[in-house]
Amino acid sequence: MSLPDAILGTLRAVLPAAPFTPLHEPEFRGHEWDYVKDCIDTGWVSSVGAYVDRFERDLAAACGTAHAVAVVNGTAALHVALELAGVEAGDEVLCPSITFIATANAISYCGAVPHFVDIEEASLGLDPQALERHLEQIAEQTADGWRNRLTGRRLAAVVPVHVFGHPVRMAELQAVAARFGLPVIEDSTEALGSTVNGKPVGGDGLLGTLSFNGNKIITSGGGGAILTNDPDLARRAKHRTTTAKKPHRWDFVHDETAYNYRLPNLNAALGCAQLERLDDFTARKRTLAGRYADAFRPLSGVRFFEERPGTTGNYWLNAILLDDAEQRDPVLATLNDAGFQSRPLWTPMHQLDMYRACPRADLSVSEALSGRLVNIPSSPKLADAVAS
């Protein structure tokens, strides 16, 4: 049997029969309707309301951080987190090339330049050793911090991404970043519900970011959040994402040029109800991943991507890795033709027109993996038929 057919057979054995199985679909089986209806019934649908406050409290509790600031989407969360970490126009920010476009775009919104570093196959995230080796080669210390000696630009921050919810090696990355005086901003937009040694992902960096887009593990329709343990940064995050308006009963006085990045109460209500379901979503997604792992084990030429020991991923999107990149497109065609929505890894950022000229390290692991990885259906409900 051909590899694409063997993989198709494996999906058929694991997943419930259906004419079409999306890659990831949201599920609303909790208090979603009650909370959204409550917003409409009370008129509190827009820029302020009790659900925004509650969502922020519940998110901070879920992520083990002192503070969470809800914003309009994950990209806005990254943009403001980068600003708060001190990223300025003309700086460079180290990040992976294997990520959703939002990571690189948020860096660009600051007028800064993404500087791409390689990932490791074990976590799909930034490789601490590769980062360190690269910085040793290109970084030089100056009076006002570290610079890229090749471009003369200041190195301002590091943004690791927990790809598909698989936690990066944060402790090692933090140690390397600290050696070069770089703040770490975690792109945790895919990792809500993942833990390392029982501790939730997202609160280790100076700032962390979440997304509640429709395809993420929980959704508020659209939404995001900034996580931090620093009360001053949390206060600044709230101020800068709510037009920097000084509190007053009737006056409109704004004390800086800031953003309208608020999360509407209507979206926060949906988010509150979804967050109540997070543990259930994570548990069912892990059940599904376990079934996939077992089912793919006997196959040669492909392996199901499993979490790194010591980490507990949310398996936001399940992934298989093919030995042979030549097989990727035939596998994608076979699975999609059969109604199992599947997709490749993002095109690496350094291969996109607007980021082609950006500084970069050796990216051989990123390039190799982008040719070999395929995401397969991952909705929590797919576990329900599987559980028995």
Ligand X SMILES: *Cc1c(COP(=O)(O)O)cnc(C)c1O
Binds ligand X (CB under 6 A): choice among 10, 21, 65, 99: 99
Helical segments of 47-100, H only: 50-63, 74-84
- The phi and psi torsions of 370 (rounded to 5 degrees) equal -65, -25
Per CB under 6 A, 242 contacts ligand X: no
In angstroms, what is the C-alpha Rg of the chain?
Answer: 21
Distance in Å, CB of 271 to ligand X, minimum: 12
Q: Is residue 82 close enough to count as binding ligand X by CB under 6 A?
A: no
Least Å distance, CB 6 to ligand X, is: 30
SS3 374: strand
Here the contacts of 14-17 (C-beta below 8 Å, separation 24 or greater) are 14/288, 14/291, 14/292, 14/295, 14/386, 15/340, 15/377, 15/382, 15/385, 15/386, 16/382, 16/384, 16/385, 16/386
74 is a site residue for ligand X (CB under 6 A): yes
Stretch that binds ligand X, among 41-49, 67-75, 323-331, 373-381 (CB under 6 A): 67-75
Among 195, 213, 242, 267, binds ligand X (CB under 6 A): 213
Taking the complex as a whole, the smallest distance from the CB of residue 319 to ligand X amounts, in Å, to 13
Instruction: Name the segment binding ligand X (CB under 6 A); options: 37-45, 90-98, 99-107, 351-359.
Output: 99-107
93 binds ligand X (CB under 6 A): no
The answer for residues whose C-beta is within 8 angstroms of residue 40's C-beta and 6 or more apart is 266
Pair 255, 248: CB distance under 8 Å: no
Nearer to ligand X, 8 or 191 (CB): 191
As measured in angstroms, the least distance from the Cβ of 223 to ligand X is: 7
Work out which of 193, 202, 205, 224 binds ligand X, going by CB under 6 A: 224
The closest alpha carbon to 99, from 368, 350, 326, belongs to 350
* Smaller CB separation from ligand X, 102 or 322: 102
123 binds ligand X, rule: CB under 6 A: no
CB nearer to ligand X: give 3 or 349: 349
Round to whole Å and give the CA distance between 266 and 49.
Answer: 9
The residue count for binding ligand X (CB under 6 A) is 14
Least separation in angstroms between residue 190's CB and ligand X is: 5
Q: Does 100 bind ligand X (CB under 6 A)?
A: yes
Q: Which is nearer to ligand X, 211 or 312 (CB)?
A: 211
- CA 142 distance to own-chain centroid: 33
The CA-atom distances, in angstroms, between 252 and each of 44, 53, 249, 263, 300 are 21, 22, 9, 20, 65
Distance in Å, CB of 296 to ligand X, minimum? 24
Query: What is the token pair recorded at 4?
Result: 């694409």
* Dihedral in degrees, nearest 10, Cα atoms 230, 231, 232, 234: 90
Question: Does 221 interact with ligand X (rule: CB under 6 A)?
Answer: no
Strands 224-228 and 185-187: unpaired
Q: Measured from the CB atom, is 180 or 346 closer to ligand X? A: 346
Interface region with ligand X, contact rule CB under 6 A, candidates 68-76, 266-274, 284-292, 363-371: 68-76
CB nearer ligand X, residue 74 or residue 203? 74
Q: What is the C-alpha separation between 217 and 231, in angstroms, rounded? A: 27
Query: Which residue in the set 161, 177, 206, 289 belongs to the binding site for ligand X (CB under 6 A)?
Result: 161
Question: Taking the C-alpha atoms of 112, 115, 121 and 122 in order, what is their torsion angle to the nearest 10 degrees?
Answer: -60
Q: Measured from the CB atom, is 15 or 81 closer to ligand X?
A: 81
CB of 124 to ligand X, least distance (A): 11
Element (H, E) at 237: helix 231-241
- Residues of this chain that interact with ligand X (CB under 6 A) are 73-75, 99-100, 102-103, 161, 187, 189-190, 211, 213, 224
